Amino acid sequence: MPSVKNLAIIPARGGSKRIPNKNIVDFFGKPLIVHTIEAALKSKLFKRIFVSTDSQVIADIAKDFGLDVPFLRDSHYNDNSSVHKATLSSTYKIENFYTEKYDNIVQLMPNCPLRNEIQIIKAFENFIVKDTCFQISVNKFGWMNPWWAMRINKQNKTMKLFPEAFMKRSQDLDELFCPTGAIWIAKIDEFKKARTFYGPNFKLFPIDWKFAIDIDEEADLEMAKCIFTYLNKF
């Protein structure tokens, strides 16, 4: 592995409407965010791991697991704020506070507790080998085929999103991928220029769907619990 300085940022707002206190909800005996903190630590890839939060409760949990949280997020923490902007703002503050310079930034969303250190390492190795500037983790659509998606409008009229593909067999359609917040990586200087991980010529890194789930609603949480139970049987 090349000798580089990597910064991991875990964005974790205190507020959540769909699942109250989502980032610290109990997930098999630990606050949800702890699964991401532990995965980042076990990967041994990072010069620094920082939890970007507006919540003192979340900051204290991060400290309990050995992380340094010298300041709270003072902007970009409401429902309308872009996580890209929150991570960018935290990046500048961390560099200034610690007077450190990093080569790469890795954003790990805490609502992806099934992604572990193995996926983080594989994603980073691919990022280095492919020598890309921006890499987004995705998972391939499986049993639900988005090509056959339909919308029901206010008049209860059904509308096909992709009418040209609706009558085709699934095996005749292109594979489609959905972003997951599990592991987003960028060269830090390029990230600062683009102000987003969706920078010029960003690349996709598919990960197994079992590790890719984003928990946003109660149904997602129940599914994640089922998958966690399945994975830990072996």
| Phi/psi at 156 (5° precision) | 65, 30
- Give the H or E element holding residue 134: strand 134-140
pLDDT value of residue 26: 97
| Mean pLDDT within 151-165 | 94
Q: Which residue has the tokens 């875990």?
A: 10
What is the average pLDDT score of the chain? 93
Domains along the sequence of the chain with CATH: 6-140+177-231 (3.90.550.10), 142-175 (no CATH)
What pLDDT does 69 receive? 96
Please determine, for residue 11, whether its predicted confidence score (pLDDT) is greater than 90: yes
DSSP bridge partners of 27: 30
- Candidate from 66-75, 126-135, 181-190 with smallest mean pLDDT: 66-75
pLDDT at res. 2: 41
pLDDT of residue 78: 52
pLDDT of residue 152: 96
Q: H/E element holding 41?
A: helix 32-43
Query: Does the structure show a pLDDT above 60 at 76?
Result: no
Does residue 39 contact residue 120 with C-beta atoms inside 8 Å? yes
Output the pLDDT for position 133: 98
User: What pLDDT score was predicted for residue 1?
Assistant: 39
- Tell me the residue type at 76: H
Output the CA–CA distances (angstroms, integers) from residue 152 to 113, 141, 163, in the order listed.
Answer: 33, 21, 14
The predicted-structure confidence for 159-189, as pLDDT tens digits, reads as follows: 999 999 988 999 999 999 999 999 999 999 9
What pLDDT is attached to residue 17?
83
